[in-house]
Structure 1
């Protein structure tokens, strides 16, 4: 069974990947690049899945994190793929994911979770 700490690290790593994918891009480039859009959407889904699996106790301990919204976004992304609003995905990638990453890193530090090494190419 995976722990809360591993799910939190999944969120941080996925947010890092998203930042790498969109680095130097403008929204118009993003919308026109199927490969990057698909990669970002996948990592946002990973974030949503990890957030869904974090224990209720941890979620209640950190009410400032919009857990339900994160999970809801994942559900929309996965189940309504053909009607995805790429502008919303862009905003999630460049505004929400970095903020969430900082918030989750703060939680990881307070829980004294050892940082996992990110493998090259991730």
Structure 2
């Protein structure tokens, strides 16, 4: 994989993280139980963030060690393989607390490329 392809993956992470935050805006934690479309959308967007993270170059990951790569990729694996036991409290915390910080870091990387 080339550096260009790795940057494309970082942009995918950024775009899908932004979309998850935007979709959750104005919603509540309880909406995850009552709004099936919200639930499915957030899970899928986080799966894509994790998949894109897993496809970035190892050198790129090492260069940006402040990004929790293992946790992002691990979340993707948990969502895919543990689809029947997703903890919506954790999912909500990730979308509302972790993704905004990730977005800032990804914006810095992408803008400097």
TM superposition score category, shorter chain reference? over 0.9
Point out the more displaced range, 93-102 or 66-75. Answer: 93-102
1:96 is displaced (CA, Å) by 1.1
Pick aligned residue for 2:23 from 21, 41, 49: 21
Matched, 1:35 2:37: yes
Output the TM-score relative to the length of structure 2. Answer: 0.92
State the match for 2:94 in structure 1: 92
Mapping of 1:69-108 within 5 angstroms? 69-108=71-110
Instruction: State the SS of the aligned residue for 1:27.
Output: coil
Which structure has greater helix proportion? 2
Structure 1: how far apart are the matches of 2:84 and 2:47? 15
More displaced, 65-74 or 15-24?
15-24
Classify the secondary structure of the residue corresponding to 2:26: coil
Note the C-alpha offset of 1:26.
Answer: 1.2
Aligned structure 1 segments of 4 or more residues deviating by more than 4 angstroms:
none
Question: For this pair of structures, how many residues does the alignment match?
Answer: 111
Contact 1:5 1:108 in 2 (8 A): yes
Q: 8 Å contact 1:48–1:74 — kept in the other structure? A: yes
TM-score by length of 1: 0.86
Contact 1:22 1:30 in 2 (8 A): no
Aligned Cα RMSD in Å? 1.2
Q: CA deviation at 1:32?
A: 2.2
3-state secondary structure, aligned to 1:3: helix
